[in-house]
Structure 1
Amino acid sequence: MKILFAASEAMPLVKTGGLADVVGALPKSLAKRGFDVTVMLPKYGEIPKEITDSAVYLGYTFVNIGWRRQYCGLFECVVDGVRFLLLDNEYYFKRGYLYGYGEEEAERFAFFSFAVLECLELLDEMPDILHCHDWQTGLIPLLLRTRYANRPGYRDIRTVYTIHNLQYQGVFSRGLLQDLLAAGDELFSSDDGLEFYGAASCMKAGLLYADKLTTVSPTYANEIQTEEYGEKLEGVLRRRSGDLTGIVNGIDTEVYDPMRDPHLAVPYRDSREKKRRNKTALQQELGLEVDERVPLIGVVSRMAGQKGFDLIGEALPELMDEHVQLAVLGSGEPRLEAMMREAAARYPGRMTVWFGFNEGLARRIYAASDLYLMPSRFEPCGLSQLIALRYRSVPVVRETGGLRDTVESFNEYTGKGNGFSFGPATAHDMLFTVKRALTFYRDEEAWAKILANGAKRHYGWETSAREYERLYRGLAGEARAG
C-alpha cells in the first residue's frame, strides 16, 4: 500500500515544532510495517544544503493559483531511509523562515495544496492514501473531491486529515480564498463549506472533506468536540465524530536515546549516578550553582499562555522557596519573555533562561533535569513529556489532552505512576503538585520506583503505527468495495 504524507515540515529536513517530529518519525515506523511511504514537502531555502544538493530532479508542472500560473519543480531525496519529494517554487518557499507572512500564507499553502495534487501525475503510481497534516494542507481533501475528482487515477485516492493543533486553523478572508481557489459561493456556505464567522478556514476544509480524521491523542479527540476546546469548530467535529480517531503520538527512540545522544556530557540509560553527572555538567554550562543534590526542574517550550507560563510566573516565588533550580529554554510572547528574563535576574545561580531554540541544549536539559514541568492549559499530545520520560526526567503536567493519556500520577499506595499531574489550571494546583513531587524526590526508594515505572513503557511509534495501519487498511478496503 502506498501512503503519501503531505505536510509543511518534517524532521530532519526542517522543523519549527512537534509536527515535524511526527511527520519525520511516523513514516519510518510505517515502512517497517511494510508500507511504501513518501513525504511531500515544500522545498524551503531552510532545508540543509547537503540534502537539497543530493536531491534528484524528477520534472516540473504548472499550477494555476488565483490569476497566477506558477512553476513547480519536483525533486526526490532519501533521508534516514525515508523518501522525500520536495516541491520547488522559490517565490513561495525560498524565504528567511517557514511561516509568518500574514495574508501571503494563504497563497503559499494554496499553491502547495494544488501542487501536491498536480505533481501526482509526475509519479509512476498514484498513492492509495493521501495523509494531510494541519491547516497548511487542509485544502487538499477539498480539491481532491471537487477539482480533481474526474481526473484519471484520482478517484480512488482516500484521504486522512490529522489535526495537530486546532488552535491554528489557517483563517483568511473569504474573498482571498475564493480568488485563490477560483471558486464560487458554493464552497463557502457556513454548514458544509469553508465559511468561518465571516472569513474562511483551511482547517475546516480538511475536516469536512477528508475521508477520515485523526488527532494526536484520544483525550484531545474528545476535548475538541466541546465548546471549551473546539475553537468554534466543535459542531463540525461532533458531526464527524464517527470518522474521528485519537491516536497518541510517539517519539523516534533512535533519535531520542540518552545512551547514544551526542549532545550529552555522559551517555546513560537507567544510571542515576550518570544522570547526576549530566546535571552538574549543565549547571556548570548555564551558570547554576553546581550541586547534584539540588532538584533541577526543566522546561523546554514555547513561551505562550497555552503552555501555562503565567502559572509558572505566579508560582515562582513560592517555588524557589523549595530550594530548587529551574532551567528554561524557549521563546514566544514578549510579555512572558520579559517575565522570565526578570525572574532569572532575581534568582542568579538558581534559575537560568535561554531564549530561542537550541536542539543540543534541549537534550541536555532533558538529561539533567529531575523534574520536567508542563502546566499546559491545553496540549493536543505533547512530545516533551515523552522525551523527558525517555531521558528519565519525571514529568509534572496538567491533566489535558495527550498529557493525560501518557502521564499517570504516582500513587504511593499502589506504587503505580510515572509522573505527577494536576487538574485545575491554577498556580496553586501546579505548585501543590510540584511540592508533592519534591517530597517523593527526597525519598530514594519512592523515586526509584517512579523512575522504574517510567522506564517500563515504550514511547516509540510502534503502537501508534499499528493503529494507523488499521485506519489505512479500512480505507483501502472501502475504496476497493466502492
Structure 2
Amino acid sequence: MKILFVAAEGVPFVKTGGLADVIGALPRALRSLGADVRVVLPCYGQIPDTYRQQMTDLVTGTVPLGWRNQYCGVKQLIYDEVPHYFIDNEYYFKRDSIYGCEDDAERFAYFCRAVLEMLPALSFQPDIMHCHDWHSGLVSLFLKTHYAAHPFYQSVQTVFTIHNLQYQGIFPHPILGDILGLSEDYFTIDQMEFYGQVNYMKAGLVYSDRLTTVSPTYASEIQHDYFGERLDGLLRHRQKDLTGILNGIDVQSYDPYTDPDLYAHADDLLRQKQINKRRLQKHFRLPEKERTPVIGMITRLTAQKGLDLVLHVIDEIMKSDVQMVILGSGEDRYEQRFSEFAKRYPDKLYVRIGFDERLARNIYMASDLFLMPSIFEPCGLSQMIAMRYGSIPIVRETGGLRDTVQSYNEATGTGNGFSFRNINAHDMLYAIHRALWFYQNPQVWNNLVKEASQMDFGWTNSARKYKAMYEDLKKMEDVT
C-alpha cells in the first residue's frame, strides 16, 4: 500500500498549528503498520537550515498554471524513516509568512499542480493520495480534470481530511480560468461555486473519493448548520463517504518522565507535578502555594477557543483560591484584555503573549487543571497532552473534546476530567468550581490524575482505522 500525504505544513519542518503535528506523526504510525507512506510539502523559506542542508535535489521542470509555466524543483529528505518531498519555487514559497499572502490562490494551486506533475518523474505511484485541508483541496479536482486521461493516475484514489472547516480557501471567481485553467462549466453549485466565489476546500469535498475529519463528534457536528460553515448540505450529501477518526499525539515526545524541556523529573507523577508546580510559580513570581490549584491555558487567542466565556467570569474565577497561567497569541482584543486582567491580579494570574514550546510543556506539567472552553474544536490536542502530564481538563462538550474527556462521575468514581455542554460562561464557571471542589479531596484527585495520565492517545489505533479505510478504497478500485 503506497500513500502520499499532501499538506501545507508538517513537523519538524514548519508548523503553525495542529495540522503539522498530524503530518509529523501519522505517517510514522502508518509505516509501522507496513504502509509505504511519504509526505510532500512546500519548500518554505522558514524551514530551518539544518533540514535544508540535508535535502537532495531530485528533479526540475515546469508546472502549467492557467496561461503560466512556472519553474518547479523537487527536493527530498528522509526524516524518521519517512521520505519527504519538497516543492521548491522561491517565488511562491520564500515569503515572510506561510499563509495570508494576497496570492494564496495562485500559490496553493501551483502546489497542487506541482505535486501531480512531479509524481511520474519520482518513480513513486501512490495507491492513495491523502490530502489535508484546503491548501491541497485542488489535488482531487485536478486529478479528475487535467489528469483524467493520463495512464499513470488511472488507479490513484483520493482521501481528503478536514482539519478545521472554518478555513476554506475562498477566492474570487476569475481565478477559475486564469489560475485553475477551468471552464465556466465547473462554476456550479455542485462543483466549485460558493456564493459567487471559488472554494478550494469545497473542491476537495466534491472530488475526493473519501472524506475524513479529525474526530467522530466533529464529523457529526459539521453536517449541521451551526458548525457546517455553509458546507453542511454538501457534507450531508456525502455522509456515507465521511468518517471521523480521532487524532492522536506523539506519546514519545510528550512523555512526562523523559521530556527534556521540563523543569524537573521524578519517578512518581504526582511528586513530579508538585516539584514543577513550585518551579512554575517561582518562575512567574506567583505565591508558592502547594495546595492552591493552578489552571493552565495554552491556546490561540481567538473567539473559537471560548475566550469570551473566560473573560465574562474571570473576576469570579479569581475570587476562588486559584492561580491561572495563560500562554498564547492571536487577536489584539484578547491579548489586551487578558494582559489587563493580569495586571489587576498579579498574585493570581500570569499571562504570556506569544508561544514558547518549552514553557508550554512546563505549563502542562505544572498545572493541576487545564481549561479548554472551545466554541468548536475539531479534535484538539492540548487536552490529550494535558492528561498525559496529569493536568485534568475542563472542556466544553464539542468535537474531539467530547470524544476524549469524560466528566467525573462521583457516584461511580469514573471519568478523566470535567465538562459542560452549553456555550454559557456560568455553566463553565460551575464546571470549574466543581473541579476545584474535588481538588480538595486528595484521594479523589489522585485517582483522577492516575486515570487521565494512563489514557492511550497514541497514534496506533487511529493509524489502523486509516489503513483499513485505504485498504477498503483499494479493494473497490480493484473490483472496478
**Matching of residues 234-245 of structure 1 within 5 Å:** 234-245=232-243
Amino acid at match of 1:105: D
Match of 2:44 in 1: 44
Match of 1:463 in 2: 461
**Matching of residues 29-178 of structure 1 within 5 Å:** 29-102=29-102, 104-178=103-177
Match of 2:476 in 1: 478
**CA-CA distance at 1:354 after TM superposition:** 1.0
**TM norm structure 2:** 0.99
What's the CA shift string for 1:428-457, capped at 9, x where partnerless? 000000000011111001101211221332
Match of 1:311 in 2: 309
**CA-CA distance at 1:270 after TM superposition:** 4.7
What's the CA shift string for 1:106-140, capped at 9, x where partnerless? 01100001011011112112111100000000111
Instruction: Give the Cα–Cα distance (whole angstroms) in 2 for the partners of residues 39 and 132 of structure 1.
Output: 10
What's the CA shift string for 1:293-329, capped at 9, x where partnerless? 2100000000111100111111100001112111111
Secondary structure of 2:278 counterpart: helix
**Matching of residues 165-244 of structure 1 within 5 Å:** 165-190=164-189, 192-244=190-242
Instruction: Give the Cα–Cα distance (whole angstroms) in 1 for the partners of residues 151 and 122 of structure 2.
Output: 13
Instruction: Give the Cα–Cα distance (whole angstroms) in 1 for the partners of residues 453 and 324 of structure 2.
Output: 24
**CA-CA distance at 1:68 after TM superposition:** 2.2
Amino acid at match of 1:314: H
Match of 2:8 in 1: 8
**CA-CA distance at 1:476 after TM superposition:** 0.8
**CA-CA distance at 1:389 after TM superposition:** 0.7
Q: 1:302 aligns with which of 283, 292, 300?
A: 300
Instruction: Give the Cα–Cα distance (whole angstroms) in 1 for the partners of residues 440 and 94 of structure 2.
Output: 52
Instruction: Give the Cα–Cα distance (whole angstroms) in 1 for the partners of residues 465 and 231 of structure 2.
Output: 25
Moved over 4 A (4+): none
Amino acid at match of 2:384: L
**CA-CA distance at 1:287 after TM superposition:** 2.2
Match of 1:341 in 2: 339
Instruction: Give the Cα–Cα distance (whole angstroms) in 1 for the partners of residues 447 and 176 of structure 2.
Output: 55
Q: 1:366 aligns with which of 364, 370, 380?
A: 364
What's the CA shift string for 1:77-99, capped at 9, x where partnerless? 01222211011000111111211
Match of 1:251 in 2: 249
**Contact map agreement 1:279 1:368 (CA 8 A) in 2:** yes
Instruction: Give the Cα–Cα distance (whole angstroms) in 1 for the partners of residues 157 and 33 of structure 2.
Output: 20
After superposing the two structures, state which structure 1 stretch, 282-291 or 393-402, moved more: 282-291
**Contact map agreement 1:288 1:349 (CA 8 A) in 2:** yes
Instruction: Give the Cα–Cα distance (whole angstroms) in 2 for the partners of residues 182 and 36 of structure 1.
Output: 32
Aligned sequence identity (%): 52
Instruction: Give the Cα–Cα distance (whole angstroms) in 1 for the partners of residues 415 and 267 of structure 2.
Output: 19
Instruction: Give the Cα–Cα distance (whole angstroms) in 1 for the partners of residues 303 and 285 of structure 2.
Output: 27
Amino acid at match of 1:372: F
**CA-CA distance at 1:269 after TM superposition:** 6.5
Runs (5+) with no aligned partner, structure 1: none
Total equivalences in the alignment:
480
* Residues 268/46 of structure 1: CA separation in 2 closer, same or farther (3 Å cut): farther
Instruction: Give the Cα–Cα distance (whole angstroms) in 2 for the partners of residues 432 and 385 of structure 1.
Output: 19
**CA-CA distance at 1:177 after TM superposition:** 3.4
Instruction: Give the Cα–Cα distance (whole angstroms) in 1 for the partners of residues 76 and 279 of structure 2.
Output: 41
Instruction: Give the Cα–Cα distance (whole angstroms) in 2 for the partners of residues 259 and 389 of structure 1.
Output: 14
**Contact map agreement 2:388 2:455 (CA 8 A) in 1:** no
Secondary structure of 2:86 counterpart: strand
Q: 2:318 aligns with which of 310, 320, 339?
A: 320
Secondary structure of 1:99 counterpart: coil
Match of 1:356 in 2: 354
Secondary structure of 2:387 counterpart: helix
Runs (5+) with no aligned partner, structure 2: none
Match of 1:275 in 2: 273
Secondary structure of 2:4 counterpart: strand
**Contact map agreement 1:63 1:71 (CA 8 A) in 2:** yes
Match of 1:436 in 2: 434
**Contact map agreement 1:19 1:164 (CA 8 A) in 2:** yes
